[in-house]
A and B are shown apart, each in its own frame.
Chain A
């Protein structure tokens, strides 16, 4: 749970940081798009049944780290901010956390190709 909470906070920071630091337009838009997606995936993954949503944030975290360098971001502070947020998101996304309940095999049961032998 703590990993998802930190992940949510990091995503919120990504969303609001263009208001605090000196972002260029493209870099700011990148954060305005990535931030809400990170927050959404983190919140959805808070519940055991959709814990798999955390993998989205593995990608998003990696993207945040890279994107600060790819865009003319504005300042060093922007690059550092996004890199730090990205690392944070990435590391938290790797934390599986506790899964204590059984959900009849989860989503993979629905989408598997063939049934297991009866």
Chain B
């Protein structure tokens, strides 16, 4: 069975299977749509923004000083982050934890730090502007719930590179996936 070989040593499942990756990509896609919507509002392309709970909270937050710290509105940067999540979730086959560690690691970096930046923005909303923004919170929630589901694949890749190193084989080549390593020891 091809299935069995795709599972990392001493794992119960394959973290690179499509069943593991597609749900993450789908949720990140939802985050991308929310962030795009907020970004279009920040650019002035949309006149209003949906805010069911916090009055003019979203307007205040989305036009705040923090949102304009960088040349690009912060929601558009978030959208780019989600796009990176979706793309790096989709690239590579179902054994990519071992055949393409580089993409798995970029995926992990895209998901992890993006989630942490979202938390920072959630903290800044009430502390600096005394309001909340519903869709910003929704976006932050999305980026937090995909952290752990994405980290299992990252762990499998890092364990693999560790095994490569311990077997005295070139880690750099294994990182780029052009060096088939048959290391099975833990």
Contacts and interface: CB of A to CB of B under 8 A. Distances in A.
Chain B interface, >50% SS class: helix
Interface stretch (A30-38, A65-73, A89-97): A30-38
Contact of A103 (B126, B140, B155): B155
A86 to B, nearest CB: 18
Given A36-B119, A115-B166, A107 B155 contact: yes
Nearest to A104: B10
Interface string A97-112: 0000111111101100
Interface in B4-33: 8-13
Contact of A110 (B115, B127, B140, B158): B158
Contacts of B158: 110
B152 interface: yes
Chain A interface, >50% SS class: helix
B185 interface: yes
Interface residues on A, range: 20 to 34
A81 B99 CA distance: 51
Contacts of B152: 47, 49, 103
Nearest to A50: B148
A1 B126 CA distance: 29
Contacts of B36: none
A28 B125 CA distance: 13
A49 B147 CA distance: 11
Contact of A104 (B11, B115, B144): B11
A49 B162 CA distance: 18
B9 A49 contact: no
A105 B144 contact: no
B137 to A, nearest CB: 9
Given A32-B126, A40-B119, A110-B158, A47 B148 contact: yes
A105 B123 CA distance: 34
A42 to B, nearest CB: 10
Contact of A49 (B8, B126, B140, B155): B155
Contacts of A110: 155, 158-159, 162
B3 interface: no
Which among A36, A39, A105 has the greatest number of chain B C-beta atoms within 10 A? A36
Given A40-B144, A110-B158, A104 B126 contact: no
Contacts of B149: 47
21 contacts: A28-B126, A32-B126, A36-B119, A36-B123, A39-B144, A40-B115, A43-B144, A44-B144, A49-B148, A49-B151, A50-B148, A50-B151, A102-B10, A102-B11, A104-B10, A104-B186, A105-B10, A105-B159, A105-B186, A110-B155, A115-B166
Given A32-B123, A36-B140, A50-B147, 12 more contacts: A36-B122, A46-B148, A47-B149, A47-B152, A49-B155, A50-B148, A101-B13, A103-B152, A104-B156, A109-B159, A109-B186, A110-B158
